[in-house]
Structure formats: C-alpha cells, structure tokens
Amino acid sequence: MSQLYVLYEHAAGYALFSVKEFEEVAMFLPQVESSVTDLAKFNSIVKLAGFAPFKTAISALENINAISEGIVPQDLMVFLDDFFSKLKKKKCQLGIGDSKLGAAITEAIGVQCSHFGVVPEILRGVRFHFHKLIKGFTDKSAGIAQLGLGHSYSRAKVKFNVHRSDNMIIQSIALLDQLDKDVNTFSMRIREWYSYHFPELVKIVPDNYIFAKAAKFIKDRKTLTQDKLEELEEIVMDSAKAQAIIDAAKMSMGMDISIVDLMNIELFAERVVKLSEYRKKLSTYLHNKMECVAPNLQSLIGDQVGARLISHAGSLTNLAKYPASTVQILGAEKALFRALKTRSNTPKYGLLYHSSFIGRAGLKNKGRISRFLANKCSIASRIDCFLEQPTAVFGETLKQQVEERLKFYESGEVPRKNIEVMKEAIEMASSETPKPQPGEASSQTKKNKKKKRKLEESEAANGNGATTQSDENGAGEVAEAAENGGDGEPKKKKKKKKNKNKDNE
C-alpha cells in the first residue's frame, strides 16, 4: 500500500502533507468534499510532514516564476530529494496541483505524481486551513506573504521588457484609427448642420478640418465682411477661396438661424478642430515611438502600416516569430478561411495592402510584390526585435530592394543580389554604431594589448633561448648565452640558472 504525500506551494514556502489511508478516503469523495472545511475532521486525515520556508522575497519570486512555467526550482528539488531519500520511493506517491510540474518532478526525482482523484480536494482543504496547520503561522502573516509575492510576481510579469514599448504602439494605433472614424463622422455632422445656414461653403471648402475652422470663424454669414478677408485667408490658406466665401455669403440661399443654434454649432466645430489637432499630435507621437522600437520596419513600410502589423500580431516579438507567408496575409484571416472553405483563391495581401508599394505595382504583379514585401517585413521585424543597437540602415536597404524589384517587374532591370546588399548594410550599420566610452572599452583594449605583448615576449624568449647577462655573471654564462644564439635583456628564468651554477661550484 503506497503512502500519499501532497505538495502545497505557498508564498511562505513549500509544505508536504501526509494523507492517511487515502485510498479509502478516495472512495468517499463526496463526504470528503463536504467535510474539508471542518478542521477537526481534516486534521485527522492530513498531517504536516515537512516545511521548507523561503529565505528571502527574491527567492520566493524566483521559485514562483519557475513553477508558473512548469520548471522544478532548485529549492524544491533539494527539499523533495532530502525528504524522499529517507523513504522508499516506490511506495510513495506525490499529489500536486499542476500536471506540468508533476511531470517535471517525476523526471527529476523519480517520484510518481498525481493531480486528480482526491488530490484537488485535499489541496483545497490545505489551502483553507494552511495558517492553522503550520506552527507559528497566522492568518495575518499568510496574507502579508501572499500580498507581497503577488505584487512582485505581477510587477515582474508586467515589466517583462522595459526597453520595448510595444504596448504604447498598439494603443496609439488603435486610438488613431478610432479618431479617424470619429473625426470623419463629426465632420460630416458639422457639414450637414452648418449647411442649413451656409450651404455654399461645402463646395468651396471640401477639407473637413478647414471646414470646421471656417464654420467656427464665420458663425453668422451676415456678419462676414471684407474686413475679415485676411483672417479668413489664414484659415483656408488661399486668397481666391477666401474671397469666394465672402462673395457666397452675400448671396447665400441658406436660412436664418437663431443665436443659440449658432452657439451650439460653434462649440461642436471647436471640438472637431481640437480632435483633429490632437490626431496630428498622436501621429507624431506614433512616429517617434516607431523610430525607437521598430526603426527598420518604419523605414520599410511606414509608421501606420508597421504599427498595425505589430498591433495585429500582439507584440514585436510575436511578429518577429511569424514566417513571411503569415505576415503577407496578416489581417485577412476571414478571407483566407472563407477561401479554404469554398476552395477558391486565397487572398494575396492583408494589412500590407495599405503600403504604397502594392498600389504602385501593376495588377499582375500585386501578388508578387506583396510576397516580396512580406519577406522583407519579416526580416526587418526580426532585426528590430533582436538588435541591441537600433538603427534604420537595414530598413532603408530593404526598401531599396523593394524599389529595385518594382523596377524589375516594370522594365526588366535585374536587381542586385541579396547577399551583396546585406553586406553593404552591415558595413554601414557597423560604421554608424556609437564609439565606446573611454572608461569602458579602452581599459578592456589595454588589457588585451598587455596580454598580447606578454604572449609575444614569452614566444620570443622560447625561440631565442637564454639571454645574456651583465659582466658580473661570469664568462661561462656569456658563453652559454652565445651558444643558445641570442642577445637580449636579462630574464627571470636566467636567474634560476645562475643559482644552479653557484650550487654546482
């Protein structure tokens, strides 16, 4: 009959509990489920067999990180190995909550692990009564340990990679797309609303942003006179348009509206103008972020298309893991599965369709250039993800390759080989890398030079043999040095030979 031990991982440490007659307990599983909350009944079945507390909070965080990935930490391995080495491993069974961790423990120590049957109910009871089962442990101290470790674990997960601002790019492009929709909707609303009063303005000023600014400035068309020509010219940035607006205001077919209606139109126009200005600032912010995070991808396909690819993949790391065939149809998943279902032609491009290269290619070559561009995007994303010193040299080089491929499809001009282009890019990138600080790299280079000099001196000494000493050393030693065939400075090794000669005498 094998003995069951249950492993419980707490924020304070690892605990092993022995379960009495677990096979009989397993037969009465419904009764066990109902009586788990009763400490007296639970304590008659489960007893503490061993407890290994964590020494520091850092150690606790390292252990929980390893356990969450299904890896056996060193502390847990030592604790279990010491415990089960005293027992007969064949007659022991270890209950555990995570199947991945159980498989890793079985592989590392050789103890059979189980995560089903009565084990989940026993662990539920241990979790409920843990602070009472451990001596000197209170509910308050357990809560403090769990809270501290929970904060540390969450902070470590959130701060996975500080230098990559993928999340900022994802949120920025999502907000930018939403702003485009909202500004467009609001602009259409202000056009319809203000057209009741001044319908001719729509034909003269087609741009949404300028129309909102003009509506906010004009307000009542009857007050628009020749004196306001210069101010209106600054808004529409065209003297002919400004004069046409003033002329149209005098002969307008629009109806008269009240002051309250004009105030509401003005307030709404002001909001639309502010939203449009914020959209420009957000676009600049996205451009700067892409320069920091993915400069090569930005140089190749632009800010917005590159940001949409990162957003759709979830992160730059995920995008770097994708093959070029996946990058090509990223964003066209519905069309792909519909094509597979109906056995029709699969899509040639997804988000890459918004790139200028696809629009410039001919109808027959759109699929070819899309495949080639996806290949270069995949390379650029991997360079951005894994390069320590960010540089846009590779992105510019890849962009030139796409341009050459476009020319090849149009005129038949043969592009350069990829290996030659990448060699040039690597040379340019190495020349652009910042020079090391004098305190950091110069000391290392000096050490390397000293080591090299010592090696050269030792090789020269071995090749030339013993070197000559001064006249005080005697004529015999000079003769020996002459026989060895070398003139040079006295060495430490020669002093040892001198002492030997004195002993012989």
CATH code assigned at 103: 3.30.420.220
Which of 284, 317, 337 is where one domain is finished? Answer: 284
CATH number for the domain that contains residue 240: 1.10.287.4070
Task: Say if 452 falls within a structural domain.
Answer: no
- Among all chains, which residue has been given the structure tokens 């600054």? 234
SS3 at position 485: coil
Q: What is the dihedral of CA 243, 244, 246, 250, to 10 degrees?
A: 140
Distance from chain centroid for Cα 38? 47
In a domain, 484, yes or no: no
Which pLDDT does position 98 carry in this prediction? 84
Asked if residue 112 and residue 251 are part of one domain, the reply reads: no
Strand-strand pairing, 92-95 and 3-9: parallel
Is residue 109 situated within a structural domain?
A: yes
Cα 242 to Cα 205: distance, rounded to the nearest angstrom = 10
Beta pairing partners, 19: 4, 46
Residue 109 structure tokens = 């120590």
- In this structure, the answer to whether residues 154 and 240 fall within a common structural domain is no
User: Tokens representing 42?
Assistant: 């639970």
**DSSP assignment of 136-172, as one string?**
T--HHHHHHHHHHHHHHHHHHHHTS-SS--HHHHHHH
Domain boundary, last residue among 158, 177, 196: 158
Same domain, 38 and 142: yes
Statement to judge: residues 258 and 326 lie in one domain: no
Residue 497 maps to a domain: no
H helices, E strands: number in the chain: 26, 5
CA 93 to chain centre: 41
- Domain coverage including residue 345: 294-431
Burial of 345 (0-12, 13-18, 19+ CB in 10 A): exposed
Q: What Rg, from alpha-carbon coordinates, does the chain have?
A: 39
Is residue 304 within 8 Å of residue 324, measured between CB atoms? no
Q: Are residues 317 and 280 in the same domain?
A: no
Number of folded domains that form the chain: 3
CA 32 to chain centroid, in Å, comes to 46
H or E element in which residue 20 lies? none
Residues 63 and 126 in one domain: yes
To which residue do tokens 């109808």 refer? 363
Q: How far apart are CA 493 and CA 480, in angstroms?
A: 14
* Stretch (H or E) spanning 255: none
Q: What is the pLDDT of residue 494?
A: 46
Cβ proximity of 261 and 172 under 8 Å: no
In the structure encoding, which two tokens stand for residue 121, read together? 């109910």
Same domain, 305 and 199: no
| Residues ≥6 apart with Cβ < 8 Å to 35 | 41, 42
How many other CB atoms are found less than 10 A from the CB of residue 343? 6
Return the number of other C-beta atoms located less than 10 Å from residue 392's C-beta.
20
Do 28 and 152 have their domain in common? yes
Cα distance between residue 37 and residue 182, in whole Å: 55
Provide the 3-class DSSP secondary structure of residue 329: coil
Residues 6+ apart with CB under 8 A from 289: 165, 168, 169, 172
Same domain (yes/no): 318, 246: no
Residue 465 lies in a domain: no
Does residue 199 lie in a domain region? Answer: yes
Q: What is the pTM of this model?
A: 0.60
> Are 241 and 306 within one domain?
no
128 lies in some domain: yes
Token pair of 428, please? 């340019």
User: For residues 32 and 118, what is the distance between their CA atoms, to the nearest angstrom?
Assistant: 8
**One pLDDT digit (tens) per residue for the chain, 505 residues:** 578 888 888 888 898 888 876 555 555 566 666 667 778 877 788 888 888 888 888 888 888 888 888 888 888 888 888 888 877 655 788 888 888 888 888 888 888 888 877 788 888 888 888 888 888 788 888 888 888 888 888 877 766 554 457 888 999 999 999 999 999 999 999 999 999 999 999 999 999 999 999 999 998 988 888 888 899 999 998 889 999 999 999 888 989 889 999 999 999 999 999 999 999 999 999 999 999 889 999 999 999 999 999 999 988 989 999 999 999 999 888 999 999 999 999 888 899 998 989 988 888 888 999 999 999 999 999 999 888 888 889 999 999 999 999 999 888 888 888 888 888 888 888 887 654 444 444 445 555 555 566 666 665 555 544 443 444 444 444 344 444 444 444 444 444 444 444 444 4
Asked which of 372, 406, 431 is the last residue of a domain, the reply is 431
**Does residue 301 share a domain with residue 270?**
no
* Helix or strand run (H / E) with residue 491: none
CA atoms of 294 and 279, how far apart (whole Å): 21
Q: Looking at the structure, do residues 215 and 128 belong to the same domain, yes or no?
A: no
Cβ atoms within 10 Å, residue 163:
8
Q: 480 near 466, Cβ under 8 Å?
A: yes
CATH number, position 323: 1.10.246.90
Category of 468 on φ-ψ map: left (φ > 0), alpha (ψ -120 to 50) or beta: beta
Strand 13-19 with 3-9, pairing: antiparallel
**Residues whose CB falls within 8 Å of the CB of residue 223, separated by 6 or more in sequence, listed in order:** none
Contact (CB, 8 A) for 121 and 36: yes
User: Does residue 210 lie within any of the structural domains?
Assistant: yes
